[in-house]
Structure 1
Amino acid sequence: MPAPKPGGATQPRKKRARSKQEALEATVVVGTYDGGLLGFGLEDGGQTFGYAPHVGCIKAVHCNQEGKLASGATDNAVRLFDLAKRVELGELQEHQDSVSALQFWKGTLITASSDGQVCIWRGGDFELLLKFQGHKAAVTSLAVHPSGRMIASAGRDQRIQLWDLTRGTSAAHLTMKEIVETLEWSPCGDRLGVLSARELLAVQVRTTATASFKDQSSEGFVRINLTAMTWLSSTMLALGDAKGEVQILHNSDDALTQACKLPREAGAASARVKALAICAAHLLVGLSSGEVEVWLMPDKIGAKSPPAWSLDSFKKLRVVETKSRLTCLAVWAPEEASSSKGKKPKKS
């Protein structure tokens, strides 16, 4: 099987059978500015593949449970890859502008582009099922509700839209004061995380009650953009910023409060947090410098009451140097690997 390398042409290499441990290990996938995809093992940080499927900046990557990987880039293409078998699956060429967001949901792939178009594809053979105009400007983020019944999308038209997944019809919309860069549903689907450069909102779907968080150090002429977020549990979130800092927040019914901040090494180079992701008991922090930090989360991450965490509640296991300009990040955890949640990994 060819063993592709990032940033260049595919180079032939003798096929090597994957061990049982490799087949079960969670894989972290990094998208890069120059169109490359890099994969490394979550447990040891060792690179598992390198691949250059795009001729433009990769804007979004996502994996489904079966190991299908989709990547979207400024070359207007969606490229498909099978992480389990390490083979290409082809290319989707329906979009006429940069593919800016995409997400799998079970047997469905949803993609969106900078011209506001949204496409829904059947996951088995990737046949186009539906295409509609989602926004009047570029789509910045997509989030499929855990039930699969609807999609939330955000665009540079400063609108959030809720869509019926099967019909592509608008169910509701919300006009925002600023451009929303990231949307993500909480694990149980009762709240929607909404991130703009200055503010993080947690919106309860049934009551529309909204909790807000702004960085208090970003005032006046000193503006520190918020750049990434992800839910850690139904009540806890991680929030990254342009300084490379990550705050852990607790979401009550009407408030977002800081529980702790991940410690940074003295003299660490400044880099933006480009992506945050979780896998089992791990929090992954992707930085613009190309580093991916792997943190072990505390056992009581799902506690409903605000936790009293100290600086050592999160433990940094390792830092993976990708030596690339990181733009996005995704994790594939096979079912066997996911079933080992709560087991603490070996430290390297």
Structure 2
Amino acid sequence: MKQKQSEADATVVVGTYDGGLLGFGLDGAQRFGYAPHVGCVKAVHCNQAGKLATGATDNSVKLFDLARSVELGELQEHEDSVACLQYWQNTLVTGGSDGQVCIWRCGDYELLLKFKGHKAAVTCLAIHPSGRMMASAGRDQRLQLWDLTRGTSAAHLTMEGLEALEWSPDGERIAALSPKELTAVEVKDPSSAASFKDASSAGFMRVSFTAVAWLSPHLLALGDAKGAVRVLRHGAELVEVCQLPETEKGTPAPRVKALLARDGRLLVGMSAGQVEVWGFILAKAAPEFEKLRVVDTKSRLTCLTAWFQAAADAGLKKKQPESKKLVKPAAKAGKTGKAAKTSKAGKAPAKLVGKKQKTP
């Protein structure tokens, strides 16, 4: 399996339990180590332009520019832990344990909308590939669909214990993950859903699902608490077609904390700090996988994201619509502009250095 040209331009960013961020290339070479948070990092995400947002239990969202290796500032709108966040072009969406979902316009980071559709902590969110719809889930057992063009609720489903949401690349369905079950819900007919449970799990022997990522419109990767990664095919039901090779026998298997599929690469983040880099080819019978390398961050990994600069350069050549046209500010959006963004007045942006995090 040949190494793709964009691999050299990729930057993987992982968040850690002690508030740190680590950046490294797919070749394993460390690019930065930084500790911007005073609490556990719960979520990290990059957009195509290399803007990085991180959310943590210190109630803040930190903003960075990976292309220039600088810290841009922070957002302090949530009154509790920031559990999830995601960029879509020039829009940033954040969700917190305070039950709020906030939508920000990048650039000046004006708070455009504040959704309060959840009566308990928001656990996860996902923006539709079109950018016109969003899904969020919370401890109130509610999967909420939002119309971002109008800033209103579109629909909701009752689903218990959701920890992760992921839209399929074609936007036809959304994967909703709980520790017990993975469900793929069809957008056109939410009552039509395919699901997967571990048939070998029973009682105290139950294996918890922990992470999910789409490999294609009909293939998903599913990680669990025992370190296994299964590949499922979507149809009338979700059917397991293969598993990635497990760790050597006798070696304790860490929990899979994060999965990210991009550009023929699958990144698997483990709770013990290892990040496995797999190459994959979508063959007709079953996808083919090859483990390319393992990067040991020697930290308690909680989440990961990646920025592929080559893909970003190609995407920036195309004219993209401004998020302001997609999301209309609401009258009760809360703080806006500089009031919503705290920055170090009069100081130059901080470089991505500081408390050093080690990788081999």
Distance 1:201 1:240 in 2: 14
Indicate whether 1:331 and 2:311 are aligned: no
Indicate whether 1:182 and 2:157 are aligned: no
Matches within 5 A, 1:96-245: 96-176=79-159, 178-208=160-190, 209-245=192-228
1:113 maps to amino acid: G
1:189-225 Cα offsets, whole Å, 9 max, x none, are: 0011010010001111113321110011211221110
2:11 maps to amino acid: T
1:129-162 Cα offsets, whole Å, 9 max, x none, are: 1112131111010100011111100001010000
1:319 corresponds to which residue? 294
- Secondary structure, counterpart of 1:297 in structure 2: strand
2:68 maps to amino acid: K
Is the CA contact 1:229–1:275 (under 8 Å) kept in the aligned structure 2?
yes
Task: Tell me the number of residue pairs that the alignment of Structure 1 and Structure 2 aligns.
Answer: 308
Give the direction of change, closer, same or farther, for the CA distance of 1:153–1:22 in structure 2 (3 Å limit).
Answer: closer
Distance 1:46 1:94 in 2: 35
Tell me the CA shift for residue 336 of structure 1: 4.4
Distance 1:161 1:228 in 2: 20
Tell me the CA shift for residue 268 of structure 1: 2.5
Distance 2:258 2:313 in 1: 21
1:65-116 Cα offsets, whole Å, 9 max, x none, are: 0000000000000000101110000000111110011000011000010010
Q: TM-score, normalised by structure 1?
A: 0.85
Is the CA contact 1:24–1:337 (under 8 Å) kept in the aligned structure 2?
no
Report the RMSD for the aligned CA atoms in angstroms. 1.7
1:28 corresponds to which residue? 12
Is the CA contact 1:25–1:337 (under 8 Å) kept in the aligned structure 2?
no
2:28 corresponds to which residue? 45
Which structure 1 residue ranges, 5 or more long, are not aligned? 1-20, 340-348
Is the CA contact 1:26–1:337 (under 8 Å) kept in the aligned structure 2?
no
Post-superposition, which runs of at least 4 consecutive aligned residues in structure 1 deviate over 2 A? 21-24, 265-268, 335-339
Aligned residues with identical type, % of pairs? 67
2:334 corresponds to which residue? none
Is the CA contact 1:225–1:242 (under 8 Å) kept in the aligned structure 2?
yes
| More divergent stretch after superposition (130-139 vs 239-248) | 130-139
Tell me the CA shift for residue 24 of structure 1: 6.2
Higher relative contact order (Cα pairs below 8 Å, separated by 6+ residues): 2
- Secondary structure, counterpart of 2:204 in structure 1: coil
Is the CA contact 1:242–1:273 (under 8 Å) kept in the aligned structure 2?
yes
Give the direction of change, closer, same or farther, for the CA distance of 1:216–1:147 in structure 2 (3 Å limit).
Answer: same
Is the CA contact 1:285–1:293 (under 8 Å) kept in the aligned structure 2?
yes
Indicate whether 1:83 and 2:66 are aligned: yes
2:317 corresponds to which residue? none
